[in-house]
Amino acid sequence: MSSAISSREYLQRRSFIELDARTRAKSLFDSRTDRELAGPFDRIESPWLPLQGVTPQADDGCIVMRGTIGGRQAVVIAFDGAFQGGGIGEVSGAKLTSALDLACRDSQEGKPTSAVLLLETGGVRLQEANLGLAAVAEIISSIIALRQYAPVISVIAGPIGCFGGMSLAAGVSSYIVMTPEGRLGLNGPEVIEEESGVEEFDASDRSLIWSIYGGQQRYNQGLVDVLVDDDANQMIETVRDLIAQGIPEVHRSQQVDLYRSRITALDTSTQWDPAVVLWSAASLARPTGRDQRPTDDKKEHHQ
Ligand code: COA
């Protein structure tokens, strides 16, 4: 543990990861400004899951809330990792896309409305494969439309992480915030093991998983803007700061040459030790030019 804060302060922190999706979303808003849209009592559920013997959920695992954060208009969309691994289906995808499109419309009409995506998702919901894939395409397109007017912030807290098509959605957002416990990757460990064999990737090897997909690693690779502890207050403060900061000068997904040069520079002839990747990536310039590495007194990760 870092000496920056005492053990007592460490233990008194309120975990963000331990909050359920609805409480996470609610926690970000200014007091009593939040209201849920298309909530569970509207019973907009997946029509496809019962056909496969799966009990649907009344909000389809996607919570949409509207209100103000730091006095600014915002919509928060949270995925419930406890329901189908937070997988994106037709209904949850449509809820997210509609929320982004309404925020975009309001922004165009002079009421800038930021979006915060609380991503806890294994990607496309396997039981709704093609519909989920179509939803991801729409989500990405809606994020790119909105980010011209107001920041879109992806938060990957854990424990599921953010995989599959939704990692692409995170990639096009204005900012990515992670905790060290979060995980971010295109192909999840289970998929790599199934496709390429356990010799290629052992999906039961937790330390291997975090050394490749984990928040600390992703931050050091320059793929994440802010790394925060699993602390609800730090998360609220970080989201508020990024909304106040507004749209970045250049979005990460527009820096194709920078990222291509990094991939080209990688020596893939040997298996990289994660510790070396950490060291090597830390020496690279931050992509947005904003080094948001946590400071000792504020957001130091406790190792
Ligand atoms: N669609 C439907 N269900 C999914 C899912 C998806 N995309 N991703 C995860 N789940 C489910 C799992 O089947 C499991 O369900 P169960 O509790 O009924 O068994 C539950 O979510 C939790 O997943 P599990 O694998 O047990 O947890 P984990 O923490 O070990 O790993 C992931 C979580 C997301 C890393 C792992 O499930 C994974 O690698 N998924 C594939 C991710 C991927 O490559 N997606 C590409 C699809 S586009």
Q: Express each pLDDT in 236-272 by its tens digit.
A: 999 999 999 999 999 999 999 998 888 888 777 876 6
Check residue 246 and give its pLDDT.
97
In this structure, the residue with its CA closest to atom 31 of ligand 1 is 160
Give the phi and the psi of residue 226 in degrees, each rounded to 5.
Answer: -135, 130
| Most informative mutation of 124, 126, 187 for ligand 1 (most atoms within 8 A of CB) | 126
| pTM, rounded to two decimals | 0.89
* Length reported for the chain: 303
Check residue 278 and give its pLDDT.
58
Asked whether 280 lines ligand 1 (CB < 6 A), one says no
Check residue 90 and give its pLDDT.
97
Asked whether 124 lines ligand 1 (CB < 6 A), one says yes
Q: Round to whole Å and give the CA distance between 209 and 223.
A: 17
Check residue 285 and give its pLDDT.
47
Q: What is the mean pLDDT of the chain?
A: 89
In this structure, the residue with its CA closest to atom 27 of ligand 1 is 160
Atom of ligand 1 nearest to the CA of 187: 44
Check residue 262 and give its pLDDT.
83
Residues with Cβ within 8 Å of residue 47, at least 6 apart in sequence:
90
Task: Specify the CATH superfamily of domain 7-293.
Answer: 2-enoyl-CoA Hydratase; Chain A, domain 1 (3.90.226.10)
Asked whether 92 lines ligand 1 (CB < 6 A), one says no
Domain boundaries along the sequence of the chain:
7-293
How far does residue 246's CA lie from ligand 1's centre (Å)? 33
- Flag residues of the chain having pLDDT under 70: 1-4, 271-303
* Tens of pLDDT, residues 26-40: 999 999 999 999 999
